[in-house]
Amino acid sequence: MSTLIVTDHHVAPAPTKAKVVQPAWVRTMHWINAVAMILMIMSGWQIYNASPLFGFSFSRSITLGGWLGGALLWHFAAMWLLMINGLAYLITGFATGRFRRKLFPITPGGVLTDLKAALTFKLAHDDLTTYNYVQRLLYAGIIAVGVVIVLSGLSIWKPVQLQYLTALFGGYDVARYVHFVCMSLICLFLIVHVALALLVPKSLRAMIIGR
Residues forming contacts to ligand HEM in the complex (CB under 6 A) are 26, 30, 33-34, 37, 102, 128, 131, 135, 139, 142-143, 146, 186, 190, 193-194, 197, 203-204, 207
Q: With respect to ligand HEM, which residue has the nearer C-beta, 32 or 162? A: 32
Q: With respect to ligand HEM, which residue has the nearer C-beta, 117 or 143? A: 143
Q: With respect to ligand HEM, which residue has the nearer C-beta, 129 or 163? A: 129
Q: With respect to ligand HEM, which residue has the nearer C-beta, 50 or 199? A: 199
Q: Is 195 exposed, middle or buried (0-12, 13-18, 19+ CB in 10 A)?
A: exposed
Taking only Cα atoms into account, the Rg of the chain, rounded to an integer number of angstroms, comes to 23
| Contact in structure between 172 and 117 (CB atoms under 8 Å) | no
Residues near 83 by Cβ (< 8 Å), separated by ≥ 6?
A: 150
Least separation in angstroms between CB 30 and ligand HEM: 5
Polymer length in residues for the chain: 211
CA distance 57 to 66: 14
Least separation in angstroms between CB 114 and ligand HEM: 12
Q: Give all strands (DSSP E) within the chain, no chain letters.
A: none
